[in-house]
Amino acid sequence: MAVAAPVQATQAPPDEELPNVDRRVDRASGGVSDVGRPDRQLTAPSSRPPQEIVLGYVRAHPAVFGLDEPDIANLRLVARSVSPDGIVHLRFNQVLDGIWSFDSGIDGHVTADGRLITVSGAPVPGARLPAADPALGARAGLREAREAVGGPASLPATTDVDATPEQATTFAGGERAILRWSATADGPRLAWSVLAGDGGDRLYDVLVDAERGTLLRRQSLTAHVGQARYFAADPLRTPIQTQLTMPLAWYDDHDGGMRLWGQYARTYVDREDEDPAPGAELGGSRVQIPASSGAPAAPDWLYAQSTAFPDPLGVCPASGCTWNRTDQDSPAVNQFQAATNAHVLASRFHDHLLQAPIGFDEASGNFQRTNSSGSGAGDDYVRVEVNDGEGYNNANFSTPPDGIAPRMQMFLYTRRNVNGSDTADIVYHEYAHGLSNRLVVNASGSSTLTSIQADMMGEAWSDFYALDLLVHEGHMTDTAAPGELTKGSYTSGPGGSRTKPIDCPVDPAGRTATCNGAPLRATVLGGYTYGDLAVTNNESPHNGGEVWAQTLWEIRTALGRQTALALITGGMRLSVDNPSMLDMRDAILQQAVATRSAPGAADDHYERLWAIFRNRGMGADASTRSTSSTTPAEGFGVVAAAGPATFTDPYPDGDNDGVVEPGERFEISQALRSVIAGDVGAVSGRLTSRGSATVEDATAAWPLLGGGRQAVNGDPLAVRLAPGCTRAAPLTLALSSTHGPAKADIVVDPRPGSSETVTLADATGSGPGVTTTSFEVAGSGTVTDVDLRIDELRHDRIEDLTIELVHGGASAVVLDRVLWWGDDIIDAIFDSDSPALLVAMKPGPISGRVQPPVRYVLNAFDGLPVAGTWTLRIHDAGTGERGVLHRWGLDSPQQSCRGRLEIPEVRSDAADGIEQHAATLSGAVTPNGRETGLRFAFGTTAAYGATSPVTSAGAGDAPISASFRLTGLKPGTTYHYRVETLREGGQVAVASADRTFTTTPTPGPRVDPPPIVPPRVGPPPIDPRPQISNARVTLARAGRRTDRRRASFSFTVSEPAKVTAVVTRAAPGIRKGKRCVAVPRRRPRGAKPCTRQLPAASGTVALRSARRGTLQLPAAGLGKGRYTATLTAVDATGNASTPVVVRFTVK
């Protein structure tokens, strides 16, 4: 009798009522089988009972579910449960005329705060039963069911019949039939749900059409109790083999006991290393694992381990050798036992990872032959290859994308003449590679654990999950004492296969001997920190991975097993592609924030996690130049830079163009943040130079941090860049606060080059991908020495790249498919004169000065003009490797620096033509490349108070002289004056030194001077300068989530002009001579306070007519403080208005 194929769900077309909702339709019933949102829950939080939330949603969307009120009235709540995460799971059955449906209804899942997650279940719209009574009775239903399962033809007596519409009938012997209805393509049909026996020991759940007697469904409810023996840990820790009853899924494809295949693994011996493709595990010289007894009906795999092997060298563990490395036939003695052991361990670990809080299920990409939930891709059981002939003393796990079967290869160990398949820490470790490589994936489902640090974390996760289960099950002991948990002691000896136990705390004093490492294997006392990647034999990811593994175990110790597993696994799911350890730190912290009930609640582990990461050198101020770097900068602080530093180059020691040029003085503003919730005060910093730059103002202070606040230093740090552009200028900002020290690195790089981000072209079927990028070099003369500088090139496989420099008809290949373990090229200079060779198979990025493959190939450019176009041509022979070039350039003494320093020069001359009431001022200005105005400031004090009209000095590089005749002066009076240069916005850029003159005194008795006779008769001259009037400021919030204010100014101008507003912020200071300087950390006694005006913002607007105008400052807004805005208008002829000052406060 044929059995109907299982009904599948299909994706429905987009729904107009819920356009962002995924909706699936059951092919058989036509009902909606699943509704959910891809990005969030279906509803907002609600205090209503979960049942009302589910049915209310269905009722509110009749066009989606197709259910009317009578249909909804037929939905009866039949099951309710609450999972550990607080989610309420409800199941409603669609009951018609008192008869339950076999397969139709609604499942709803509601979060603890009342958000509906999904609705599923495929209810049938407008369902009606075709008849009230079935054509076949319960006994006829049992007869058809028995026939379907091969049961006896003679029916038992009826013992009980319920007087309900479902007519539940019980038979002698325990068989039962109950009336249900089932959704079919022809509509609802009555059916008998029968528990029927086959006359033997098997019981079946059978669904029989109550009208026609046809079979609708058959499912065996009896699983044979197949048994197997295995070592729960290894023959040393658990010397007696455990005999267990295997779930049917572990061996359900055993083919009459001829092989050990199940839902989750297919295990066989591959001594010849044939590596069969998925689905081709039979054949060749491979050996399948037959049952030891009970085949074919009741197979068991109860193999005992033999240790009857000689040990002349004394290498065997106390449990004995399981093969003889001098006898190549000896592995066959225990091959069935070892394979059974590996198979059981792999199947057990599958079931362990499936459970909460790990939840490595079908949707997550776990390894199963059949995905019954319909999520993920099936047919990716693990191929466990025992006694694999590829090598010795190791094991591996290859993880393709979901839906393709992975391969686990288990090797023999010659060190102690044992089998890796017999130890759980190796089998679990390898299997856990599948977990991490299926959770940290890209959009296509491929693993992104490709860089050095990501690979190290892969090893660390595998150690962590393996030892976690062994400790949890009591096979390893983890007390409060450190240094107890070693991996690989069965195969490698008492010290294990790692340099240190996983439970070693940070302890520079080295108080625990086992945590100080074996001689010649570790150089660090106590547990590892992030910076120890440089000394942990990082050519192997296993050793460098110990840094991350010990960090994970510290999380487990501090927060408890269940919490640690939830946070660590959740972090992998949230991870960025190809993460560094700092990226994964952030992912675990994000998981902690996402799953806490509230900040500060008992389940808020954010602060404790930060304490652990800081303790391991992964504090807020830690950094790594690359995910493949083995020399990261560890940090232990709670304070870190909140983004890159901001550089300004204000007048008079800079040219105010926002670009730091060689020889220029610039100021640094660095935003800081704290990663903890509490207040962090007394934040100060000291800047030091690690290169040729000179720090001129080294100290600064920051406002209170913590609690989500970030702030910029109140007074700027000042640095002067050295002349020339051949080197970068690295700076270090050492920070201190109430919560300890921290640091921030700042780099200023004036070197010419291309900073355009270029994505490298992948190879195609016709050849490698080719990418070219160019930049123009300024300079004079010919090349005598040139080196290629690649500051940052990110690529997963450097060995796929050929890099060529091209200029003036010549070319030089500087990298040609070198065999290189690491990723990326960071701060590398290809220099023909360097003695350093590119060492094959070296880890980490290519960096430093290295020789090209042909040493003097860069000499091809000697004698060519240095100026012109230089091109980098990159050939990529690989595909899907996400190569990106961020910055490159040249190192050559002949090239010119980018840009020029355009600070104007100014000179004031001695006043002449001095009389009782007049004098002539003179001076000169050299604009140095930018439009510059000139004026004289004068008055009876050094504050001046009056200025002459502005005249243009042009933008040339020659001095421009000017003079101005002052009249109306007082006799015998000393006047101060200087020459001022004016730049953008009418601001004073550079001024000459203050000079003085004294008018001629009046001889004898005082006589009033004669009246000044106007030079011409007529109306007074019209002031040629534009005028600003009625200036006002308006403040508005810069954004919904900020207290900063955006300022705009309204005003009236007398003629067409360009109006500039320059805003400064008042800051406390002390007098130092004539200057008002920043308050140092230790305020000198008797220091006089003063107020400094610090640049805050500026803006310009051009008005084409005399009218009311508005000028709005940039959107970033202004923080709290007192501000002064100076508005200046400059007309088309360069005449500048009298500045108008507007003072205001942001509260």
CA distance 452 to 557: 27
- Using a 10 angstrom Cβ sphere, with 0-12 exposed, 13-18 middle and 19 or more buried, the burial of residue 197 is buried
Label each residue of 209-259 as H, E or C: ECCCCCEEEEEECCCCCEEEEECCCCCCCCCCCEEEEECHHHCCCCCCCCC
The per-residue pLDDT for 292 is 94
What total of structural domains would you count in the chain? Answer: 8
Is the pLDDT at 2 greater than 60? The verdict is no
Banded pLDDT at 197 (limits 50, 70, 90): confident
Identify the three-state secondary structure at position 988: strand
The per-residue pLDDT for 5 is 25
Is residue 1010 a part of any domain in this protein?
A: no
Is residue 18 a part of any domain in this protein?
A: yes
- Using a 10 angstrom Cβ sphere, with 0-12 exposed, 13-18 middle and 19 or more buried, the burial of residue 709 is middle
CA distance 935 to 988: 10
Query: Which residue has 């955006």 as its token pair?
Result: 1046
Is the pLDDT at 1097 greater than 80? The verdict is yes
85: left (phi over 0), alpha (psi -120 to 50) or beta: alpha
816: left (phi over 0), alpha (psi -120 to 50) or beta: beta
CATH number at residue 559: 1.10.390.10
**Contact predicate 894/782, CB 8 Å:** yes
Is residue 625 a part of any domain in this protein?
A: no
What are the C-alpha distances in Å from 891 to residues 154, 408, 724, 786?
Answer: 96, 49, 12, 6
User: Are 424 and 472 found together in one domain?
Assistant: no
Query: What DSSP element (H or E) covers 829?
Result: strand 825-830
- β-pairing verdict for 407-410 and 382-386: parallel
Using the 8-state DSSP alphabet, how is residue 709 labeled?
B
Poorest-pLDDT segment among 416-425, 643-652, 902-911: 643-652
User: Are 292 and 358 found together in one domain?
Assistant: yes
HSE value, Cβ hemisphere, 13 Å, CA-based, for 652: 11
The per-residue pLDDT for 765 is 66
Domain of 507 in residue numbering reads as 452-615
CA distance 13 to 25: 9
User: Are 1040 and 1062 found together in one domain?
Assistant: yes
Amino acid occupying residue 167: Q
CA distance 180 to 965: 112
The per-residue pLDDT for 4 is 26
809: left (phi over 0), alpha (psi -120 to 50) or beta: left
In the listed set 862, 891, 920, which residue is the last one of a domain according to the structure? 891
Is the pLDDT at 443 greater than 80? The verdict is no
CATH number at residue 288: 3.10.170.10
b/e per residue 487-516 (b: at least 16 CB within 10 A): bbbbbbeebbbbbbbbbbbbbeeeebebbb
393: left (phi over 0), alpha (psi -120 to 50) or beta: left
Is the pLDDT at 628 greater than 50? The verdict is yes
User: Which segment, 64-78, 88-102, 904-918, is predicted with the most confidence on average?
Assistant: 904-918
User: Are 15 and 62 found together in one domain?
Assistant: yes
Is residue 824 a part of any domain in this protein?
A: yes
Longest dimension (CA), the chain: 151
- β-pairing verdict for 699-702 and 1121-1130: unpaired
In the listed set 837, 860, 891, which residue is the last one of a domain according to the structure? 891
User: Are 344 and 476 found together in one domain?
Assistant: no
In the listed set 190, 220, 250, which residue is the last one of a domain according to the structure? 220
Q: Which of 63, 141, 68 is nearest to 102 (CA)?
A: 141
User: Are 308 and 195 found together in one domain?
Assistant: no
Helices marked H in 424-540 — which ranges?
424-439, 452-472, 489-492
User: Are 342 and 473 found together in one domain?
Assistant: no
**Contact predicate 285/274, CB 8 Å:** yes
The per-residue pLDDT for 848 is 87
Banded pLDDT at 218 (limits 50, 70, 90): low
Label each residue of 3-61 as H, E or C: CCCCCCEEECCCCCCCCCCEEEEECCCCCEEEEECCCCCCCCCCCCCHHHHHHHHHHHC
Phi first, then psi: give them for residue 739, nearest 5 degrees. -110, 25
What is the pLDDT of the chain when averaged over all its residues? Answer: 86
Is residue 343 a part of any domain in this protein?
A: yes
User: Are 870 and 913 found together in one domain?
Assistant: no
Is residue 1004 a part of any domain in this protein?
A: no
Is residue 1016 a part of any domain in this protein?
A: no
User: Are 254 and 230 found together in one domain?
Assistant: yes
Q: How many CB atoms lie within 10 A of CB 798?
A: 25
Residues 6+ apart with CB under 8 A from 79: 89, 90, 91
- β-pairing verdict for 169-171 and 158-161: antiparallel
CA distance 415 to 559: 38
Banded pLDDT at 609 (limits 50, 70, 90): very high
CATH number at residue 968: 2.60.40.10
The per-residue pLDDT for 3 is 27
Is residue 900 a part of any domain in this protein?
A: no
Higher pLDDT, 1139 or 762: 1139
User: Are 740 and 757 found together in one domain?
Assistant: no
User: Are 652 and 549 found together in one domain?
Assistant: no
E strands, 677-783, where?
Answer: 683-689, 694-697, 699-702, 710-712, 717-720, 729-736, 742-748, 753-754, 758-759, 769-777
Q: What does pTM read for this prediction?
A: 0.65
User: Are 460 and 333 found together in one domain?
Assistant: no
CA distance 376 to 355: 17
Query: Which residue has 């507007």 as its token pair?
Result: 1142
Structure tokens at 995: 């000079």
The per-residue pLDDT for 320 is 96
At 952-990, the pLDDT tens digits run: 999 999 999 999 999 999 999 999 999 999 998 899 999
b/e per residue 978-993 (b: at least 16 CB within 10 A): bbbbbbbbbbbbbbbe
For the residues of 1050-1073, what is the DSSP string, one character each?
A: EEEESSSEEEEEEEEEEEEEEEET
At 808-851, the pLDDT tens digits run: 999 999 998 876 666 788 889 999 888 877 655 556 678 888 88
Q: Which of 570, 719, 575 is nearest to 646 (CA)?
A: 719
What are the C-alpha distances in Å from 169 to residues 189, 221, 673?
Answer: 19, 19, 72
Nearest-10 Cα torsion for 85, 87, 88, 94:
-130
The per-residue pLDDT for 222 is 42
